[in-house]
């Protein structure tokens, strides 16, 4: 480009900059010059720029930035505006655009986007970029830029231009018409990222050149100080990488062969593990590179685990390094040279032996960096070959103590850190480290995969990290309904095993599930032998739940994890409970089933929990799941048509929870067709004749049903206890529970023919009339709860009969001998002079046939005083 004689100095400077950019920035697309991410064979194809998915937040909040780190593209698109690349610099409605922050994970394409914006200015193809007279592109990792003290130091030098004059003109205009693109804020030293005197911070805040516009790219980890500068004249843009269409565009341009591109699509569309990686352009390149090697050599087994993928990628990087090092005799080395690069023995190949020292040192630096949460390195790497695994530019002033380097992908650093641990097992981190540094989850996943590659068993310490890494492994707070209160053991009472503490929660299984976290699932996927370890088998009940509504969880269950659940259920004799929230959850699970066993028998079982928010397409997908593998259903407030469809589809059901039940809907309810149903929980509005008429044949002698729980929404004690008539019959049940509201319960057990009641309201003449013939033995428990002057008073009483007694006898004696008209206990007045402590068990005779054991339920001195001294 050449200027006319009338061109102003600024315009002349812009023309010269365009020439420089056009020559230098296009070089990043040449694989022989810029190998990152294009680390592969020398004939690596040129892939033109493909726009990424960009999300903009109109009004920035810190929680939005946190949301970007974890949410899927689909979740973000639902909440924020998607914008195209040519709208990034679109002016705001009523303000000049001052600051644009572009965030993204490593490898997502931040630097590529920054260069592309600069080249669009060069070619004058973007109407908003054309509004800027000058664009200054600054690579912040460079030492020469990090040493800048003034904006003049950041101006790109152009020969035969009076740079002092250019700086003065820009300063006089207060930066108007100048766009600064600061690429790689996360690669600045810490003090330059956080100091108010840093030239970069001054530019971003507008302390200098206040009319300039500044674009900053950065990894999420370093953007905390920048978010404070986002105001109503700013934009926050999150790069979420490729959508499915962009992935195929990339693959098509990479392979330049429609047949191979189609095979690639078929390959990744069946595997959610691979599919979840492809939104990241770096990962997309990695997978295209690996897949290309499969096409060249059809005998190769396709990689399926995360560790195998990065193991292959590291070999690709090292091969490229060997070629660049002019080791021409290695040009034809195959990707099997060796099968993996993990230990010193793997570098015994003569041409590789000299690289072990550097490779091991890089793994050590990767480990130290991950442990300290540092991803930029300086003097530690002096004289060390980067083996094509680090992105370092040394072309300005040679290696300098202030120069920075980083691994070309954070995940690559985490993989190399795992290699260091594989060579130094005693360096494995602690549970506390894992809880404070979420990136260590990736390292641990890689470590487990590496142990499989080198045929080493997972040790107990690592096993403990995997299965006990979270404080919320047992989901007792959310899903327990009834459980043994082991605290009774401390009272040395011989019958503590008979006492059941009744705790009200929403309908669910009456067992504490062991929660399968994302970390556990990914480790199991890397090495499925973990499924047969004692540490895992001891956790009897497994529950993989979506955690988007439970922020206390360490990491949300995502589509990849549902895929893994399907994969391990298909291949192993295991039962997992799954909670589905979205259509993609179900699709990912089915992909896992099909990927492992496209035509084979499914070995495992699942229990399904479905929310009322499920759309019809989710139910359609669920109904397409193999019927015999589903043994449990928990349906939350679905319509009756869907409920009957689900029950009818799965003939092997053993457990059903229905949060909304209408027995009138089906003339012949599908529940009656189930031959393996052992446990049933129903929530009904009220007890009516149709409900009882359904329960009678469902609980007939010889039926499989053993446990029945009825939750009645209507507080109608008389109608509710009609269900107790079932106890008189020769029925199949071993346990019957009736809940009327959240604080009125019956609990009957066949094994000792005992009944526990927790409210005095149940002890009525109607109950006596209904169940006068019911025979009880051993004991009957009663938990009395009263509200006295705003304080909750609770007392637990257990009646022990010395021979078989009727329930009617119990009710009569209990009402007559235990309670006065004022509701206080008469029989234990003899205890006034004794010192009683909460938790003590006091045995009191009621008559010749029965004794009562009484214990305060709440540790409250006022409660004890009320129970034992005030009568």
Q: Which residue has the higher pLDDT, 335 or 693?
A: 693
Per-residue model confidence (pLDDT) at position 509? 46
- When mean pLDDT is compared across 105-114, 567-576, 696-705, 753-762, the lowest value belongs to 753-762
Most confident of 189-193, 224-228, 308-312, 582-586: 308-312
**pLDDT band (50, 70, 90) for residue 160:** confident
- Residue 667 in this model has a pLDDT that exceeds 60: no
**Res 529: pLDDT:** 85
Is 27's pLDDT higher than 60? no
- pLDDT value at residue 870: 24
DSSP 47-78: ----PPEEEEESS--HHHHHHHHH--HHHHHH
Confidence of residue 678 (pLDDT cuts 50, 70, 90): very high
Ranked by mean pLDDT, the top range of 129-138, 431-440, 691-700, 776-785 is 129-138
- Consecutive H or E run containing 101: strand 99-103
Of the segments 3-7, 150-154, 245-249, 615-619, which one has the largest average pLDDT value? 150-154
Lookup result for tokens 């169940």: 771
What separation, in Å, do the N-terminal and C-terminal C-alpha atoms of the chain show?
104
On the question of pLDDT at 841 being above 80, the answer is no
Q: Are 681 and 632 in contact (CB under 8 A)?
A: no
pLDDT at position 655 is 92
State how far the Cα of 639 lies from the Cα of 136, in Å rounded to an integer. Answer: 61
pLDDT mean across residues, the chain: 72
**pLDDT tens digits, one per residue of 334-343:** 545 577 889 9
Confidence of residue 348 (pLDDT cuts 50, 70, 90): confident
The pLDDT score that the predictor gives to residue 612 is 61
What sign does the CA torsion over 296, 298, 299, 305 have?
positive
Measured CA to CA in angstroms, residue 588 lies from 542, 642, 841 at distances of 19, 22, 54
Confidence of residue 546 (pLDDT cuts 50, 70, 90): very low
User: Which one is predicted more confidently, 67 or 45?
Assistant: 67
> Among the listed ranges 165-179, 418-432, 582-596, 646-660, which one has the minimum average pLDDT value?
582-596
Low-confidence winner among 335-349, 589-603, 618-632, 641-655 (lowest mean pLDDT) = 335-349
Match 């399907």 to its residue by tokens: 566
pTM higher than 0.75, yes or no?
Answer: no
The least confident of 79-88, 519-528, 667-676, 759-768 is: 759-768
Please report, rounded to a whole number, the percentage of residues in the chain having pLDDT higher than 70: 63
> Which range has the worst mean pLDDT, 326-335, 439-448, 537-546?
326-335
Write down the pLDDT at residue 11: 92
- Beta carbons of 712 and 740 less than 8 angstroms apart: yes
Cα(677)–Cα(652) distance, integer angstroms: 8
pLDDT exceeds 70 at position 778: no
Minimum mean pLDDT among 209-213, 548-552, 852-856: which range? 548-552
Statement: residue 611 has pLDDT above 90:
no
Which of the four pLDDT bands, split at 50, 70 and 90, describes residue 715?
low
* Residue reference for tokens 């100095």: 9
Q: Contact 227/62 with Cβ under 8 angstroms? A: yes
Q: Is the pLDDT of residue 829 over 50?
A: no
**Would you state the pLDDT for residue 136?**
95
**Residue 791 CB-half CA count within 13 A:** 12
Q: Strands, E, within 464-566: which ranges?
A: 482-484, 500-502, 514-515, 542-545
Could you give the domains of the chain?
9-241 (3.40.50.300), 305-426 (no CATH), 752-871 (no CATH)
In the structure, what pLDDT confidence band is assigned to residue 163 with cuts at 50, 70 and 90?
A: very high
Which of 4-8, 159-163, 727-731 reaches the highest mean pLDDT?
Answer: 159-163
Confirm if 434 and 460 have CB atoms less than 8 A apart: no
Q: Sorting pLDDT into bands at 50, 70 and 90, what band is 523? A: very high
pLDDT surpassing 70 at residue 780: no
- One DSSP character per residue, 187-240 reads GS-HHHHH-TTSHHHHHHHTSSSTT-EEEEEE-GGG-HHHHTT--TTEEEEEEE
pLDDT at residue number 105: 76
pLDDT over 50 at 285, yes or no: yes
Q: How confident is the model at residue 575 (pLDDT cuts 50, 70, 90)?
A: confident
Segment 822-835 mean pLDDT:
37
pLDDT of residue 58: 46
Percent of the chain with pLDDT strictly greater than 90: 18
| Joined tokens for residue 107 | 């490898």
Nearest-10 Cα torsion for 695, 699, 700, 703: 130
pLDDT band of residue 450 (cuts 50, 70, 90) is very high
Q: What is the pLDDT of residue 478?
A: 32
pLDDT at residue 131 in the model: 92
> Cα separations (Å) of 583 from 122, 273, 605, 614, 618?
44, 17, 20, 8, 5
- pLDDT at res. 48: 52
Q: Which residue stretches of 624-771 are H helix?
A: 640-649, 689-698, 717-720, 765-770
360 pLDDT band, cuts 50/70/90, is very high
* Residue 137: strand pairing partners: 181
The segment with the largest mean pLDDT, out of 166-170, 408-412, 572-576, 804-808, is 166-170
Q: Which of 15-29, 356-370, 425-439, 562-576 has the least mean pLDDT?
A: 15-29
pLDDT at 477: 34
Helix (H, G, I), strand (E, B), or coil: what is residue 143? helix
**143 against 578, higher pLDDT:** 578
Is the pLDDT score of 388 beyond 60? yes
Q: What is the pLDDT of residue 736?
A: 84
pLDDT digit string, tens, across residues 97-143: 999 999 887 778 888 889 889 999 999 988 899 999 999 999 887 77
Q: How does strand 81-83 pair with strand 655-658?
A: unpaired
At 851 the pLDDT is: 57
Among 139-143, 327-331, 378-382, 497-501, the least confident range: 497-501
pLDDT over 50 at 821, yes or no: no
């Amino acid at each position: 480009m050449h200027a006319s004689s009338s061109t102003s100095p600024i315009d002349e400077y812009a023309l010269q900059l365009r020439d420089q950019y056009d020559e230098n920035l296009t070089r990043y697309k040449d694989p022989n010059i810029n190998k990152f991410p294009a680390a592969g064979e020398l004939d690596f194809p040129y892939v033109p720029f493909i726009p990424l998915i960009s999300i903009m937040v109109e009004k920035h909040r810190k929680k939005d930035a946190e949301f970007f780190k974890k949410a899927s593209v689909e979740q973000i698109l639902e909440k924020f505006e998607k914008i195209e690349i040519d709208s990034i610099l679109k002016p705001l409605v009523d303000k000049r655009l001052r600051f644009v922050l572009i965030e993204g994970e490593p490898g997502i394409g931040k630097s590529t986007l920054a260069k592309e914006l600069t080249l669009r200015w060069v070619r004058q193809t973007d109407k908003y970029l054309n509004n800027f007279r000058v664009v200054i592109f600054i690579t912040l990792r460079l030492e020469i830029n990090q040493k800048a003290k003034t904006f003049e130091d950041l101006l790109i030098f152009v020969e035969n231009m009076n740079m002092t004059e250019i700086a003065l003109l820009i300063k006089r205009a207060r930066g108007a018409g100048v766009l600064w693109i600061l690429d790689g804020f996360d690669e600045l030293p810490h003090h330059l990222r956080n100091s108010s005197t840093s030239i970069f911070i001054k530019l971003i805040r507008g302390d200098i050149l206040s009319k300039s516009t500044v674009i900053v790219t950065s990894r999420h980890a370093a953007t905390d100080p920048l978010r404070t500068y986002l105001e109503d004249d700013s934009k926050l843009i999150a790069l979420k990488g490729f959508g499915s269409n962009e992935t195929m565009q990339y693959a098509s341009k990479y392979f330049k062969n429609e047949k191979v591109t189609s095979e690639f699509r078929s390959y990744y569309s069946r595997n959610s593990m691979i599919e979840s990686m492809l939104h990241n352009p770096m990962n997309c390149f990695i997978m295209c590179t690996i897949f290309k090697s499969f096409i060249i050599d059809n005998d190769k087994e396709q990689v399926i685990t995360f560790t195998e993928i990065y193991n292959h990628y590291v070999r690709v990087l090292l091969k490229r390094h060997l070629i660049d090092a002019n080791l021409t005799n290695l040009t034809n080395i195959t990707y099997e040279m060796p099968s993996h690069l993990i230990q010193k023995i793997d570098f015994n190949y003569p041409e590789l032996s000299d690289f072990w020292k550097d490779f091991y040192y890089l793994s050590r630096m990767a480990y130290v960096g991950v442990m300290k949460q540092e991803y930029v390195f300086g003097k530690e790497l002096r004289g060390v070959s980067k083996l094509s695994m680090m992105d370092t530019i040394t072309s300005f002033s040679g290696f300098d103590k202030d120069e920075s380097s980083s691994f070309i992908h954070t995940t690559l650093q985490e993989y190399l850190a795992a290699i260091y641990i594989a060579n130094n097992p005693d360096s494995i981190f602690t549970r506390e480290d894992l809880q404070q540094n979420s990136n260590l989850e990736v390292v641990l996943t890689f470590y487990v995969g590496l142990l499989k590659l080198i045929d080493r068993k997972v040790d107990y310490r690592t096993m403990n990290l995997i299965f006990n890494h979270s404080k919320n492994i047992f989901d007792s707070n959310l899903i327990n309904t009834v459980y043994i209160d082991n605290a009774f053991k401390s009272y040395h009472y011989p019958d503590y095993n008979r006492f059941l503490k009744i705790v009200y929660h929403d309908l669910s299984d009456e067992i504490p599930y062991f929660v399968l976290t994302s970390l556990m699932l990914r480790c199991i996927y890397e090495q499925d032998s973990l499924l047969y370890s004692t540490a895992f088998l001891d956790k009897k009940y497994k529950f993989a739940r979506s955690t988007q509504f439970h922020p206390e969880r360490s990491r949300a269950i995502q589509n990849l994890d549902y895929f893994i659940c399907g994969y391990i259920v298909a291949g192993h004799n295991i039962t997992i409970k799954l909670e589905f929230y979205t259509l993609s959850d179900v699709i990912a699970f089915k992909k896992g089933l099909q990927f492992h066993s496209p035509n084979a028998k499914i070995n495992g079982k699942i229990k399904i929990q479905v929310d009322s928010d499920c759309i019809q397409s989710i139910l359609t997908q669920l109904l397409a799941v193999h019927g015999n593998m589903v043994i449990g259903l928990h349906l939350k407030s679905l319509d009756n048509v869907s409920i009957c469809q689900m029950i009818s589809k799965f003939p092997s059901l053993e457990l059903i929870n229905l949060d909304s039940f209408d027995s009138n809907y089906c003339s012949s309810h599908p529940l009656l067709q189930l031959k393996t149903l052992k446990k049933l929980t129903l929530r009904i509005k009220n007890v009516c004749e149709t409900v009882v008429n359904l329960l009678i044949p469902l609980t007939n002698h010889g039926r499989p049903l053993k446990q029945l729980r009825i939750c009645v929404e209507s507080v109608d004690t008389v109608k509710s206890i009609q269900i107790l008539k079932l106890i008189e019959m020769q029925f199949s049940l071993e346990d019957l529970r009736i809940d009327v509201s959240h604080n009125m319960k019956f609990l009957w057990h066949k094994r000792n023919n005992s009944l526990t009641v927790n409210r005095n309201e149940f002890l009525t003449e109607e109950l006596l009339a209904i169940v006068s013939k019911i025979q009880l033995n051993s004991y009957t428990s009663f938990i009395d709860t009263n509200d006295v002057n705003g304080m909750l008073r609770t007392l637990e009483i257990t009646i022990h009969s010395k021979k078989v007694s009727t329930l009617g006898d119990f009710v009569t004696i209990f009402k007559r001998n235990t309670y006065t008209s004022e509701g206080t206990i008469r029989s234990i007045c003899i205890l006034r002079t004794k010192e009683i402590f909460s938790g003590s068990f006091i045995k009191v005779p009621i008559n010749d046939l029965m004794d009562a054991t009484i214990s305060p339920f709440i540790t409250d001195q006022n409660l004890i005083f009320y129970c034992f001294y005030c009568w």
